[in-house]
Amino acid sequence: MTATPTLLAWSGGKDCLLALQRLLADPKWRVVGLLTTVNRNYSRVAMHGIHRDILLAQTAAIGLPLIEVLLDWPGSNDAYEEAHAKGLVEARMRWPGIRHCAFGDLFLQDVRDYRVRQLGRDNWRAVFPLWGEDTAALSRRFVSEGHRAMLCCVDTQQLDAAYCGREYNTALLDELPPGADACGERGEFHTLAFGGPLFAEPLKLRRGESVLRDGRFQFTDFLLDDAPPGSTRLDVRG
């Protein structure tokens, strides 16, 4: 059986890492590259606020090429979709015949439907290797298999800000309040993956400052350990 080439939408967090692991283990698929939306103004991964240099370190450690979808801030959803479509064109130029893009989504049907529609307009198909999995079990598997991640963003309307900056491990999972999804699928938190079985070596990170944005979202900055202190400021818009 010939493996079907696919991109993987890469946020830098744990769910896309697990999606990558699942795809790599399935002979049906061949992951050829990662696709990431980057805030052009602040050189950070959109939503998660991860520094671009950390993103590049992740992809180097994982060993996959990266296509960056660059967005201006502030920007509209139409601008996002136009930039995303350009990213798909670039992917087709690099890997002729590719028509699939995978996502780490777990159970939000409206998000899945949007991705299917968005890709369908460009004659692409969406793939969801983790769809419908029990998130409590999935979170424990992530930890038990040795994957490593930090919480880089917390929605303080759903979870206490003190969780931001902590490692995503058994202790944290044990402390999550009732009703909080263990994988943060409802937006309770976002993560930064930095090590584990898919990394050639773990990223060396140091914790930076924490800030509250829009009166709601707590972000904790992480820097590569070889970055000079004071070289960046935490601004994660977009």
Give yes or no: residues 200 and 182 share one domain: yes
Burial 51-79 (b: 16+ CB within 10 A, else e): bbebbebbbebbebebbbbebeeebeeee
Give the chain's domain count: 2
pLDDT tens digits in sequence order for the chain, 238 residues long: 799 999 999 999 999 999 999 999 999 999 999 999 999 888 999 878 999 999 999 999 999 999 999 998 877 899 999 999 999 999 999 999 999 999 999 999 999 999 999 999 999 999 999 999 999 999 999 999 999 999 999 999 999 999 999 999 999 999 999 999 999 999 999 999 999 999 999 999 999 999 999 999 999 999 998 755 544 444 443 3
Q: Is 27 a domain residue?
A: yes
Same domain, 99 and 150: no
Query: In what side-by-side order are the strands of the sheet with 205-213?
Result: 189-195, 148-155, 217-224, 205-213
20 and 72 both lie in a single domain: yes
pLDDT confidence of residue 208: 95
Positive or negative: CA dihedral 122, 123, 127, 131: positive
Task: Say yes or no: 85 and 54 in one domain.
Answer: yes
29-39 vs 44-45, strand pairing mode: antiparallel
pLDDT at residue number 221? 96
Dist. CA 214–CA 162, nearest whole Å = 17
Cα(36)–Cα(67) distance, rounded to whole angstroms?
Answer: 6
Any domain includes 103: yes
Alpha carbon 3 to its chain's center? 24
Burial class (CB in 10 A: 0-12, 13-18, 19+), 177: exposed
What CATH number has the domain bearing residue 92? Answer: 3.40.50.620
Same domain, yes or no, for 105 and 147? no
